[in-house]
Structure 1
């Protein structure tokens, strides 16, 4: 019998779908985001600290921008800054971003086992498509969901929307995240969550059901730790 089939039958927590965050989880793009925000804000006379950036990482652009500015911007200012930030980010990603170690193996293994996979990201759909295309990963996903126009994480909306579109219950989904806001969103959605330690330290992600340094541990071994 195939080893993966045997392990699948043994694992109580094997999901019917994996809902992946993108930035910092699949693609290590944290520095691209920080540098893009810094430059876009500087053009308008504002600055951002690393701590403030980190505390908003994983949220959508408007929620992040409101926090960075310290006030709710009008639509014109918000569009000017966020459009500049996204243009800078799209220039940087192909040059400066990289895949998180081992992630392609996890994607391929889940795909081979017939587990549905979706992106459930705060990023806009254009960014999602650009990043996945740049790294040759689009083929692994059954569904792409952008939370850009949904309530920002830690609200659970983007994960609940992905589960709804996949016609699955929250209990049938596993979320993989890297941010504190994302982990809390997963728990608020009633989903099991694996957190990868790419952008946060362990103490910031204690709500996750499992912590991994990266994806070099075989998928089935890692998921087995949830049983």
Structure 2
């Protein structure tokens, strides 16, 4: 009996390299609030939901209304800067097409705000490949596995029949907790720290069919 299989794509650092846009969008907003922010601190919180990262950066609990206001300032700046500054990472289009040809169901499963995910897939012109665009909303973000389990449920695929493509440590931990196969892309972390993944590649254009076939 054939069971359906699925590919769950993270967005930031997997579909597109958005890290510099995020950094440049966050920096003036946080500095204006008196919160120290540099690339080292940015790397530590990369991949987390806004409401999870802001208290870590501030070093104290924060009011939800304040976090919502600050995060919205940043996200507006990010979305305004995105058009004209965003391209798919190497190998993304090739593998979207290949997984589609194999009949694999595909979804984006990201901790990013839903508006960002919608805009990215439209700017990159890749929406047609995805059956679902899944974000945690008010549910826990990565490293909690909820977003991946929700995506699998929406695609009607069991966790063990899913491959997650991730770049962040929080995302890889979430996929591992979900019981899914993991392909890690060394976009934001060096390969030697991506040890929880089944396969690690520098870029997706270096991923080969034989590697993917070993996962099922």
* TM-score, normalised with respect to structure 1: 0.89
Q: 1:160 aligns with which of 149, 157, 161?
A: 149
Show the counterpart of 1:17. Answer: 6
2:87 aligned residue:
98
**Could you tell me which of 203, 210, 213 is aligned with 1:214?**
203
1:1-36 deviation digits (Å, cap 9, x = unpaired): xxxxxxxxxxxxx97000110011111101111111
1:62 is paired with a residue of what secondary structure?
A: helix
- Kindly tell me: are residues 45 and 185 of structure 1, through their superposed partners in 2, closer, same or farther at Cα, counting changes over 3 Å? same
Q: 1:62 aligns with which of 51, 54, 63?
A: 51
In the TM superposition, what are the counterparts of 1:2-41 in structure 2 within 5 Å? Answer: 16-41=5-30
Superposed displacement of residue 225, structure 1: 5.0
State yes or no: 1:129 paired with 2:115: no
1:194 and 2:192 correspond: no
Once residues 218 and 180 of structure 1 are traced to their aligned partners in structure 2, the CA distance between those partners, rounded to angstroms, is 19
Structure 1: unaligned runs, 5 residues or longer: 1-13
User: Kindly tell me: are residues 102 and 15 of structure 1, through their superposed partners in 2, closer, same or farther at Cα, counting changes over 3 Å?
Assistant: farther
Deviation at 1:78, TM superposition (A): 0.5
CA offset digits 1:119-166 (Å, max 9, x no partner): 000011111000110010100101110124221211101001111111
Q: Tell me which of 138, 147, 169 is aligned to 2:136.
A: 147
Contact residue 5 and residue 105 of structure 2 kept, 8 A? yes
Q: Distance in 1 between matches of 2:129 and 2:89?
A: 16
Q: What are the ranges of 5 or more consecutive residues in structure 2 without an aligned counterpart? A: none
Distance (whole Å) between structure 2 residues aligned to residue 186 and residue 215 of structure 1: 18
Runs ≥4 residues deviating over 4 A:
none
Higher mean alpha-carbon deviation, 75-84 vs 212-221, is at 212-221
Match of 1:47 in 2: 36
Give the RMSD, CA atoms, in angstroms: 1.6
Residues 53-90 of structure 1, C-alpha deviations (whole Å, 9 max, x = no match): 11111111110111111112112211121001101111
Contact kept in structure 2, 1:61 and 1:148, CA below 8 Å: no
What TM-score, normalized to structure 2? 0.93
The aligned counterpart of 2:192 is 203
Describe the SS at the equivalent of 2:84.
helix
Rate the CA distance shift 1:99–1:119 in 2: closer, same or farther, 3 A: same
Aligned positions, number:
214
